[in-house]
Every structure is written in structure tokens, then in C-alpha cells.
């Protein structure tokens, strides 16, 4: 059976102070905070979701902001670099904007594309790439208008502990197509027009350590609950141990660790972030799933307050 994921659903990273996180991703990068909720496995801490106007699959960057987290180390067994795609012709705007906020930018290129590389305040490695495909975000915030706004993920660079095994998984199990090699990188493509490129570094990288400034996991898309159960047996038949379905309120999730030590998730596209809030006011209130609602007062007391604010 050939199954193909459409591409990346979301990427989740560990960072530090919540206000610093929100200031960078909303204030500087102009993404929309589409949901403020808690880490369902650790309800005393936030889980933030950023994306386009509704947080469409392929645009969702999520964070566990742990104010006292130890700094991690980026290395094998992780996503090393997260790429965001911006409209063609918007690089001058972004170079100027990042400079304005004292973000150090370097330039690189691979597979014939130019990249702007930089770090977030907690050391997460990010890059921007200009591409034509992918609809423009309808969200604008401060000076980041829809014309230049991040459209979603360009993709991710995987740092696998065993690149040959990870390549086999991506091609044979996840259904991505290998489209080329460039120096120390190999590139795979999924079917969506956003969040569809996975690069993998072929050269060895020292082992990563989880902590602030590192990606926790990468999630790929399943069409719905039924498709996700198909994915579960499909991935199990390739020899991986897959978790039972975990309800994440805005999608359902299954997880498995691949042979390159990277934590993979497969998440359903529905129901999405308008499940419990109207699109107009997404991300403005702390949303809790029913099973945590009785503890709201207690939970709100331990969370650090923060504001989504324009920094222009």
C-alpha cells in the first residue's frame, strides 16, 4: 500500500519565557497566535500555537514556553532548522525588519534557493525562503502585511542519527518523493503546496539534547480520524511502535520515534482551531479542554501573564 502524507501539519519546539516567545513570533515575525492553551501533559505551562489567519495545517508552529528550562543542544535526533516560506520579492522587507529588531541574519543557498538564516530569542534555528506556491496568509500584524507575511512552513531540515533509515521511512512509509541531493543535503517533497519540503543532512552531527531552543517533534498530516488509523497500522507494519490516538483538542495525534531518533507525529487536519473560538478572536483567551476546565482558577494562577503586542 502506498500512503502519502500531504506534508507537515505542525512543528513543536521548547523555548523559554512566554512573553519573549510571543514578542518574537507575533511581534517580529507577524504570525497569528491562534491558540493559547496549556500543555495537556503538564497543565502548569502554556502551549502556544502560531500560524496563518486560522492556523491551517502546514502553517502551525507550536511552543512549550518553559521559563526555567535548561538550554538544549541542537543535534541529531531532532529537526535542526525550521523553514518558513514568504512571498516572492519579500526578502528586502524581511532583511530590513530582522535588522530593525537586532536579529543577526546570515545568507545561504541550497537546491538553487536563497535562504535568510537566523535564531529566535531562545536559540531555535530558523530560516526564510521565498516561494511562489502556497496561498498568502490573510493575517497582517503591524508592519507585516499580508503581502509579505509568512505563508507557512517551507519545510524542515532533519538531523537524523541514521540518515539512510530516515530516508527509507520518508520515501517508503510517509510517501514523500526524493527530488534531489545538494552537497550534504538530500531533499524530499510531499504533495501539499506548503510545508511540503523535508531536507535531511547527510553528514554526521553530534547527538542533540532536548531543552530550550530545540524542536521537540515534527507532525505530518492525516486527512481525518479514519486516515489516521490507517496511518497507525501502516507505520506499525513498517516495524515502528506507535502510540494510541491522543486527543489534542484541535486535532488527534499519534507518535512514533523513527530510527534516526527523531520524534514523528501524525496529526489530523480537522477539527482545527475554530473548534472553541470564533476566527475573529482566536488566541485571545486561555482555552482549556473540558477535562481541565474545573481546574481553571488554579491553572491561571500559575501561568505567567503575557500580551500579544505590536512592536513597530
CA angle, corner 222, sides to 220 and 225, nearest 5?
140
Which of residues 187 and 248 has its CB atom nearest to Zn ion in the complex?
Answer: 248
Non-local CB neighbours of 235 within 8 Å, separated by 6+ positions: 173, 242, 254, 256, 266
Binding of Zn ion at residue 157 (CB under 5 A)? no
Applying CB under 5 A, among 5, 6, 8, 12 the residue interacting with Zn ion is 12
Output the CA–CA distances (angstroms, integers) from residue 54 to 79, 95, 271, in the order listed. Answer: 24, 26, 11
Which of residues 13 and 149 has its CB atom nearest to Zn ion in the complex?
Answer: 13
Number of other CB atoms surrounding residue 95 within 10 Å: 15
Binding of Zn ion at residue 120 (CB under 5 A)? no
Q: Are the CB atoms for 100 and 27 separated by under 8 Å?
A: no
Applying CB under 5 A, among 29, 176, 215, 219 the residue interacting with Zn ion is 219
Binding of Zn ion at residue 82 (CB under 5 A)? no
Candidates 35-43, 82-90, 204-212, 258-266; binding stretch for Zn ion (CB under 5 A): 258-266
* Least distance from Zn ion to the Cβ atom of residue 252, Å: 11
Q: Are the CB atoms for 197 and 115 separated by under 8 Å?
A: no
Distance CA 294, CA 151 (A): 37
| Per-residue mark of binding to Zn ion, 99-118 (x: CB under 5 A) | --------------------
Which of residues 163 and 272 has its CB atom nearest to Zn ion in the complex?
Answer: 272
- Check the CA dihedral 5-29-32-20 and report its sign: positive
Candidates 32-40, 124-132, 141-149, 259-267; binding stretch for Zn ion (CB under 5 A): 259-267
Which of residues 94 and 264 has its CB atom nearest to Zn ion in the complex?
Answer: 264
Bond before 19 cis per omega within 30 degrees: no
Applying CB under 5 A, among 94, 161, 265, 306 the residue interacting with Zn ion is 265
* Least distance from Zn ion to the Cβ atom of residue 265, Å: 5
Which of residues 47 and 151 has its CB atom nearest to Zn ion in the complex?
Answer: 47
Which of residues 12 and 17 has its CB atom nearest to Zn ion in the complex?
Answer: 12
Which of residues 91 and 256 has its CB atom nearest to Zn ion in the complex?
Answer: 256
Of the candidates 177, 265, 168, 154, the residue with the CA atom closest to the CA atom of residue 216: 265
Binding residues among 55-74 for Zn ion as defined by CB under 5 A:
none
Q: Where are the alpha helices (DSSP H) in 148-192?
A: 163-168
Which residues here bind Zn ion, judged by CB under 5 A? Answer: 12, 219, 265
Amino acid at each position: 500500500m502506498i500512503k502519502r502524507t500531504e506534508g507537515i501539519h505542525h512543528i513543536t519546539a521548547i523555548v523559554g519565557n512566554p512573553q519573549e516567545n510571543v514578542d518574537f513570533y507575533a511581534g517580529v515575525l507577524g504570525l497569528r497566535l491562534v491558540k493559547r492553551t496549556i500543555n495537556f501533559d503538564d497543565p502548569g505551562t502554556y502551549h502556544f500555537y502560531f500560524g496563518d489567519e486560522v492556523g491551517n495545517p502546514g502553517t502551525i508552529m507550536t511552543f512549550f514556553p518553559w521559563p526555567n528550562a535548561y538550554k538544549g543542544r541542537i543535534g541529531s535526533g531532532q529537526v535542526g532548522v525550521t523553514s518558513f516560506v514568504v512571498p516572492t520579492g519579500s526578502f528586502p522587507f524581511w532583511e530590513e525588519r530582522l535588522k530593525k529588531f537586532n536579529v543577526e541574519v546570515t545568507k545561504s543557498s541550497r537546491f538553487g534557493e536563497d535562504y535568510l538564516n537566523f535564531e529566535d530569542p531562545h536559540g531555535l534555528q530558523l530560516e526564510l525562503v521565498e516561494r511562489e506556491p502556497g496561498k498568502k496568509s490573510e493575517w497582517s500584524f503591524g508592519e507585516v502585511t499580508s503581502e509579505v507575511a509568512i505563508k507557512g512552513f517551507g519545510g524542515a531540515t532533519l538531523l537524523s542519527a541514521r540518515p539512510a533509515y530516515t530516508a527509507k521511512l520518508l520515501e517508503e512509509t510517509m510517501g514523500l518523493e526524493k527530488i534531489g541531493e545538494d552537497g550534504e543535503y538530500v531533499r524530499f517533497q510531499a504533495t501539499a503546496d506548503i510545508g511540503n519540503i523535508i531536507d535531511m543532512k547527510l553528514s554526521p552531527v553530534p547527538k542533540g539534547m532536548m531543552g530550550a531552543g530545540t524542536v521537540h517533534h515534527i507532525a505530518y498530516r492525516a486527512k481525518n480520524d479514519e486516515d489516521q488509523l490507517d496511518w497507525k497500522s501502516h507505520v506499525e507494519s513498517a516495524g515502528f511502535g506507535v502510540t494510541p490516538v491522543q486527543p489534542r483538542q484541535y486535532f488527534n495525534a499519534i507518535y512514533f520515534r523513527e530510527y534516526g531518533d527523531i520524534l514523528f507525529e501524525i496529526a489530523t487536519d480537522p477539527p482545527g482551531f475554530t473548534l472553541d473560538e470564533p476566527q475573529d478572536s482566536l488566541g485571545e483567551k486561555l482555552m482549556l479542554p473540558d477535562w481541565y476546565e474545573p481546574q481553571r482558577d488554579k491553572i491561571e494562577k500559575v501561568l505567567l501573564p503575557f500580551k500579544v503586542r505590536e512592536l513597530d
